[in-house]
Amino acid sequence: MDFTKLPKATVSRLEKLGIRQPFDLVLHLPLRYEDETHIFNIADAPMHASVQVEASVAHSEVSYKPRKQLLARVIDDSGELWVRLLNFYPSQQQLLAVGNRVRLLGEIRRGFHGDEMIHPKIRVVSAGTALPDALTPVYPTVSGLSQPTLRRLIQDALAACSLHDTLPAELVERLDLEDFGRAVRLLHQPPPEVAQRQLAERVHPAWLRLKFDELLAQQLSMRLAYQRRRERTAPVLTPTGTLSESLLAQLPFGLTGAQQRVLAEIRRDLASPYPMQRLLQGDVGSGKTIVAALAALVAIESGHQAALMAPTEILAEQHYRKLADWLTPLGIEVVWLAGSQKSKAKAATIARIESGEVQMAVGTHALFQESVGFARLGLAIVDEQHRFGVHQRLALRNKGGSPHMLMMSATPIPRTLAMSYYADLDVSVIDEMPPGRTPVRTRLVQDARRDEMVDYVRTVCATGRQAYWVCPLIEESEALQLQTAIDTHAQLAEELAEFGVGLVHGRLKPAEKAAVMADFVAGTLQVLVATTVIEVGVDVPNATLMVIEHAERMGLAQLHQLRGRVGRGGGESNCVLLYSAPLSETAKQRLKAIYESTDGFVIAREDLRIRGPGEFLGSRQSGAPMLRFADLERDTDILEQARDVAEQLLQSQLAVAEAHLQRWLAGREELLKT
Ligand code: ADP
Ligand code: MG
C-alpha cells in the first residue's frame, strides 16, 4: 500500500485524522458499528433500536405538509413501514423509486402515518443479495472522506501491513492477552455474535489488547528517555553542609517531616553523576521555596552555581527577595535577571554569571535560555513548571556537563497521570502543610450581591487584615481585561476610600509591580486588586480574604492556586467566589469541586475527570503522545501492568521493546526525544 499513489486530497484528509502511513490506518478504530448482518421482518422488528429491514418501495411522494419532505411506503411479507426524509437529494429520491428493493437501517418509531423510519441508511439491492458476515464499522472521519472510502483504505492496510505480534508468545499467554492481529481484525470487522456492549464500552479483550499495547509503548518511551538521561553526566555535588546549617539555624521555623524527606531525596540525586530530573510537588503553601533554597545550597557549597527560574517576573522577583533574604547573610551573592532590566545592567549581570562569580541567579526562564551561559551551573530550579510542560525540556547553556534539574509544581498530578505522562521523571511530594495553617472557608456568592462583599472587605480590613480582589479573566481580549482591572480598582478605591487600595496587573513595568507588591507586603496597602498575575506564588500571611470575580470563568487549578494565597497566617481566612448566573454545566462542576474541597489532590483529580488528560496537561504538552485508546481513569490496572512489563522488557528483552516502539511510534520519532 502506497500513500503516494492516493489522490492528494485523500492524503490531506487522512492527515487531518492523524493518518500518515498505512499502519496508522490499522490503528484507526471504529467509533461504533452498524449491524447489517441480519434482516428483521417489519412486523417483528423491535422499536427504538437500530434494525435492518428489506422491503420494496410501494409508494413514493414529495409532500409539502407540514414542510417539504420525501415520504415513501415500503412493504415486506410481514407488514409495511413509512420512510421519511426531511432533507433529501435527487439521488435519494431515486433510491426510493417505486418498485425498488431496499435495505433500510434505522430505528422504527410510531409516526403520524404509522410506523416509520426517519432518515434510515438506504441501499438498493436485488433479491438474494448476500448479507455481510461482520458488523459494519463506522469510523471517525472528516468531511470529504466517506465511510466506504475509509473502510476500503483500512481493509487495504490490514492486508498490506504486517500484523504480527510484537510481544513474545510467552508474555501474551502469561498476561492473558488477545493476539494483536486477531484483535485489530476483530475491531475492524467484528463477527455478529460479538457482544456489542463489550465493544462499545471498550472492555472486549480486543480493546484491552490495544490499550495495553498503547500504554506499553508510552511506558517504554518514557523509561527510555529516563535511561538516556542517566547516560549523560552531571557534576557530583558534595556539599559541606555548613551553609545549610546556618540557614536552618536562622529560620523562624523548623522543616516539616515532608520537607526533610524530599530534601533527602534531592540531596541523594545531587550526589550522583547523572542529571537529576525531579519533580517536586506540593500543594500551594506547602513550603517548596525553602526546599529549593536548601537544594541550591548543596550546589553552592560544592562550588557550583544555582539558578532559579519562574514563569513570570512578578514571581521571579518574589523568589529573588526571599532567597536574597535567606542567602545574602551567608555571604552568597544572589543576582536578579529580568527581561525588563536596562541592557547595560543586564549585560553586567550576565557577564558575572558567565565568569562564575555569581553563585545564585534568579529570573525568568526565557531569559536564561536565551542569553546566559553559566560557568558551572550545578542545579537549575524551575518553579511552576506545569506552565511550561515537562516535555519542553530546558536547554540551559552550561559550560561542561548537564545541570541537575528540580522542577516545582503546585498543581498536583493525579497518580495515573504521574505514572504515564510523567514516567520519565522522579517525583517527590510534600504531603504535609506547615503547622498553623487555617483552612480557608469558601463561599459561592452570586454577583448580584457584590456590594455586600465590598462591605465584607471593609469589615475584614478594619480588623487590620488584608484582602485580595481578583478581576475577571477575559480571554478574548487582554486590553479588555486590563481595562476591567483599572475600572475595578478605581471603583473599589472610591468605595473603600478609608483604606489603601493597590492595583497590580500584567502590563505594569516590573519595578512598578514590585513597588505595589512591596507596599502590600508592608501593609501600607490593605486591598490589592489584581488580575490573575497573583495566581502563583505570592505570599502575604496577613491577607485573609480573597474575593474572585467571575469565578465561573476560571479553571479549577487556577481557582485553587488563587485561594491558596490566603490561609497562610494565623486567623480565619475566607475566599468568596463571585459568579454570574446562569452557570454552564462544567462551571457548575468546577465551582462545586472547589467549594467542597481544599485538598489540591482531590481538586486535581476532579479537574482531570472534568477535562480529560489532554486538556489537563495543556497544549504545551503536545510533545506527549496523547493516549487514543486507554482511559487513565478506567484503565489504571492496565497501566500498572504495562509499567511493570516495560521495566522487564527494558532489562532483559530490549529487542522486543524496540520492535514494539517501532510499531507504535514509527513516524512519530519526535515523541521519543527529550
Ligand atoms: P509554596 O509551596 O506554595 O511555594 P512557600 O514556599 O511560599 O509555599 O511557603 C509558604 C509559606 O510557608 C512561606 O511563608 C514560608 O516561609 C512558610 N513555611 C515554609 N516551610 C515552613 C515550615 N516548615 N514551618 C512554618 N512555615 C513554613
Ligand atoms: Mg511557591
pLDDT tens-digit series, residues 5-30: 999 999 999 999 989 899 999 999 99
pLDDT beyond 70 at 461: yes
Q: Which residue has the cell 545550597?
A: 297
Q: Could you tell me where the DSSP H helices lie in 463-568?
A: 478-495, 510-522, 556-563
Ligand whose nearest atom lies closest to the CA of 565: 1
SS3 label, residue 134: coil
Model pLDDT for residues 518-550, shown as the tens digit of each residue: 899 999 999 999 987 665 456 788 999 999 999
Task: Tell me which of 253, 322, 382, 565 to substitute to probe ligand 1's pocket, judged by most ligand atoms within 8 Å of the beta carbon.
Answer: 253
Q: Whose CA is nearest to atom 19 of ligand 1?
A: 287
Q: Is 285 left (phi over 0), alpha (psi -120 to 50) or beta?
A: left
CATH topology assigned to domain 440-597:
Rossmann fold (3.40.50)
pLDDT beyond 90 at 58: yes
Out of 312-316, 525-529, 664-668, the most confident range is 525-529
The band of 674, judged by pLDDT with boundaries at 50, 70 and 90, is very low
Q: How far is the CA of 285 from the centre of ligand 2 (A)?
A: 7
Q: What is the percent of the chain where pLDDT is above 90?
A: 59
Strands 466-470 and 527-530, bridge-based pairing: parallel
Average confidence score pLDDT of the chain: 88
Q: How far is the CA of 306 from the centre of ligand 1 (A)?
A: 20
Around ligand 1, the residues with Cβ closer than 6 Å are 253, 255-256, 259, 282, 284-290, 410, 434, 537, 539, 568
Alpha carbon of 662 to those of 163, 167, 214, 399, 640: distances in Å? 13, 12, 12, 35, 22
Q: Whose CA is nearest to atom 17 of ligand 1?
A: 287
- Determine the CATH number of domain 38-131: 2.40.50.140
Q: Examine domains 38-131 and 242-430 and report if their fold is the same.
A: no
Model pLDDT for residues 142-201, shown as the tens digit of each residue: 999 999 999 999 999 999 999 999 999 999 999 999 999 999 999 999 998 888 888 888
Q: Which residue has the cell 448482518?
A: 37
The band of 477, judged by pLDDT with boundaries at 50, 70 and 90, is confident
Q: How far is the CA of 562 from the centre of ligand 1 (A)?
A: 16
Model pLDDT for residues 234-266, shown as the tens digit of each residue: 899 999 999 999 999 999 999 999 999 999 999
What are φ and ψ of residue 308, in 5° steps? -125, 130
Q: Whose CA is nearest to atom 24 of ligand 1?
A: 434
pLDDT value, residue 613: 67
d(C-alpha 33, C-alpha 63), whole Å: 33
Q: How far is the CA of 600 from the centre of ligand 2 (A)?
A: 14
Task: Tell me which of 320, 383, 539 to substitute to probe ligand 1's pocket, judged by most ligand atoms within 8 Å of the beta carbon.
Answer: 539
pLDDT beyond 70 at 417: yes
pLDDT value, residue 413: 74
pLDDT beyond 70 at 428: yes
- What residue ranges do the domains of the chain occupy? 3-32+138-201, 38-131, 211-231+629-663, 242-430, 440-597
Ligand whose nearest atom lies closest to the CA of 322: 1
Q: How far is the CA of 286 from the centre of ligand 2 (A)?
A: 8
The band of 305, judged by pLDDT with boundaries at 50, 70 and 90, is very high
The top-level CATH class assigned to 242-430 is: alpha beta
pLDDT value, residue 617: 62
d(C-alpha 240, C-alpha 257), whole Å: 22
What are φ and ψ of residue 337, in 5° steps? -130, 115
Task: Tell me which of 286, 315, 562 to substitute to probe ligand 1's pocket, judged by most ligand atoms within 8 Å of the beta carbon.
Answer: 286
Closest atom of ligand 1 to CA, residue 259: 23
pLDDT value, residue 318: 82
Comparing 435 with 295, the larger pLDDT belongs to 295
Ligand whose nearest atom lies closest to the CA of 281: 1
Comparing 619 with 454, the larger pLDDT belongs to 454
What are φ and ψ of residue 507, in 5° steps? -90, -5
Q: Whose CA is nearest to atom 25 of ligand 1?
A: 434
Angle at which helices 8-16 and 147-160 pack, to 10 degrees? 90
Closest atom of ligand 1 to CA, residue 568: 11
Model pLDDT for residues 186-230, shown as the tens digit of each residue: 999 999 888 888 888 899 999 999 999 999 998 998 888 888 888
Ligand whose nearest atom lies closest to the CA of 563: 1
Model pLDDT for residues 561-606, shown as the tens digit of each residue: 889 888 877 678 999 999 998 999 999 999 999 999 988 888 888 8
Q: How far is the CA of 466 from the centre of ligand 2 (A)?
A: 20
- Euclidean distance between the first and final Cα of the chain, in Å? 32
pLDDT value, residue 327: 96
SS3 label, residue 380: strand
Closest atom of ligand 1 to CA, residue 383: 4
> Exposed e or buried b for every residue in 75-101, given b needs 16+ CB within 10 A?
ebeebbbbbbbeebeeeeeebbeeebb
Q: Which of 17-26, 115-124, 156-165, 663-672 has the lowest mean pLDDT?
A: 663-672
